[in-house]
Amino acid sequence: MLIAEPDVLLEFQRKKLPGFLLASVRGVGQVDLQPCLWTGMLILAGLWAAGWEIGLFATLGTLVSTAAAHLVAVDRSNIALGLQGYCGCLTGVALVTSLGGHPATYALAVIGAVMCTMLLAALTTLLAPYGLTALTAPFCLVSGIMVIGAPSFGRIWHGAPRAVSSTTTGDRALSWHDLWHAFFTNISQVFLVDEWYVGLIMLVGLAFAGARVVLYAAAGSVVGIFAAWALGAPASLISNGIYGYNAVLVAIAMGAVFLTATVWNGVYALIGAAATTGLTAALTSIFKTFGGHTFTWPFILTTWAFMAAVPALPRFRRSG
């Protein structure tokens, strides 16, 4: 979730409402750590293509969290770059896919988006001394708590959430269909969507952010597929992107955002992408015991660990 486009703040300050809307669109792109306006627009288009409820809740969450940041006077350049909208976006999608599009879910999405803004500020303050960013941790905390607690409340819980376990045993080999399907769904599963065409739209959006970004997204997807296959993960779950989406995020974060463009840093990023695949299975097994969801925790923990190690590893260099 880093910076680009130096005139973004000027645009936000001068245009007010249009600037707010553009900042919200950038917030969608910041889920994949990119402030590029075209990236945000295409990713949002992909979410609407996945279904009107997913698109609506993603939009609602992004708008509310961005507005909340504005109301509490968060730094304007931070808002303009979309850094206050991405967790609200993911929270909206997580709630509608877990709880369904009921009236209570709309209220929870609004409350969750506001809480994401508050938690983002808290985590940013706590992590700053260590040179780390909050990433999607506010989304994971807010959505995780809401999803776990929902069955206790009759006005919120309406039945079966959409859940997928990574502990299912597989009984077939990976097919060509599984491979190409997984390549694209690894991109869309970042937003909890398992449609390959949505991943394709999002990958095109990432291409607008630059060649380095889209190449690392693609490489992360391939590494996620290979690591999951090497570990013996079920073909159906690999095909649906369950094991690869965190690898995509790690590859983009370390390969195209937080580290400089060197061969060693690229290798380091892809090692992180492979590591997060194994962590996905472990965390899913842990969360399954109490009805939780893995979300993007593997990406967060892997990136924090690998980036925290950089100062002690002279071979690698942070960007900026």
Class of domain 176-312: mainly alpha
Say whether pLDDT at 6 is over 80. no
Say whether pLDDT at 165 is over 60. no
Specify the higher pLDDT residue, 294 or 171.
294
Helix (H, G, I), strand (E, B) or coil at 207: helix
pLDDT at 34: 96
Instruction: Name the percent of the chain lying above pLDDT 70.
Output: 88
Q: How far, in Å, are 8, 42, 89, 283 from residue 23 at the CA level? A: 8, 15, 13, 33
The stretch 185-199 carries a mean pLDDT of 97
Which stretch of 211-215, 222-226, 228-232 has the lowest confidence by average pLDDT?
228-232
Say whether pLDDT at 129 is over 60. yes
Q: Indicate if 176-312 has the same CATH topology as 8-152.
A: yes
Say whether pLDDT at 163 is over 70. no
The stretch 271-296 carries a mean pLDDT of 92
pLDDT at 172: 74
Tell me which residue of 180, 314, 308, 192 sits closest to 245, measured CA to CA.
Answer: 192
Which stretch of 59-63, 134-138, 167-171 has the lowest confidence by average pLDDT?
167-171
Instruction: Name the percent of the chain lying above pLDDT 90.
Output: 80
Q: How confident is the model at residue 250 (pLDDT cuts 50, 70, 90)?
A: very high
pLDDT at 166: 47
Say whether pLDDT at 59 is over 90. yes
Answer yes or no: are the C-beta atoms of 88 and 118 closer than 8 Å.
no
Say whether pLDDT at 97 is over 80. yes
Say whether pLDDT at 13 is over 90. no
Tell me which residue of 308, 207, 307, 190 sits closest to 260, measured CA to CA.
Answer: 307
Q: How confident is the model at residue 149 (pLDDT cuts 50, 70, 90)?
A: confident
CATH topology for 8-152 is Ammonium transporter fold (1.10.3430)
pLDDT at 290: 82
pLDDT at 217: 98
Say whether pLDDT at 121 is over 50. yes
Phi, psi dihedrals of residue 259, rounded to the nearest 5°: -115, 155
Residue 153, CA atoms < 13 Å, CB-side half-sphere: 12
pLDDT at 162: 52
The stretch 81-99 carries a mean pLDDT of 96
Q: How confident is the model at residue 17 (pLDDT cuts 50, 70, 90)?
A: low
Specify the higher pLDDT residue, 163 or 81.
81
The stretch 115-141 carries a mean pLDDT of 97
The stretch 222-226 carries a mean pLDDT of 97
* Residue 176, number of CB atoms within 10 A of its CB: 7
The stretch 269-291 carries a mean pLDDT of 92
Specify the higher pLDDT residue, 173 or 207.
207
Say whether pLDDT at 92 is over 80. yes
List, in order, residues 6 or more apart from 43 with CB less than 8 Å away: 28, 29, 31, 32, 191, 201, 202, 205
Domain boundary assignment for the chain? 8-152, 176-312
